[in-house]
Amino acid sequence: PIEVELAQSGMTLTVPSDKSILEVLTEAGVEVDASCEEGTCGTCEVMVLEGTPEHHDVVLTESERESGECMMICVSRAKSKFLKLDL
């Protein structure tokens, strides 16, 4: 599981391995823009403030991936146990 903290609302959520970050946020009533939900459109891009994302999308460039500053929350997860997102 990944612990996700939302910097703007102060909310902390647990994302189990069988759910996406997007699914957990949506279930918690957090409004997030999303479209394809398969990592191809770029709509759900979120800035990462802490932690290391594990990218599973096909949108980001190699350098964006390495910077770890943003991620697609519909498919991407985390290498760290904790992520702080700009939401």
CB of residue 24 to ligand FES, shortest distance in Å: 14
**Under the criterion CB under 6 A, does residue 74 sit at the interface with ligand FES?**
yes
Contact 73, 20 (CB under 8 A): yes
Our CA angle for 17, 42, 86, nearest 5°, is 65
The greatest distance separating any two alpha carbons of the chain, rounded to the nearest whole angstrom, comes to 32
Its sign, for the CA torsion 61, 63, 66, 72, is negative
Decide if residue 53 touches ligand FES (CB under 6 A): no
Residues 9-38 that bind ligand FES (CB under 6 A): 34-37
The answer to the question of residue 71 lying near ligand FES (CB under 6 A) is no
Chain positions contacting ligand FES, by CB under 6 A: 34-37, 39-44, 57, 59, 72, 74
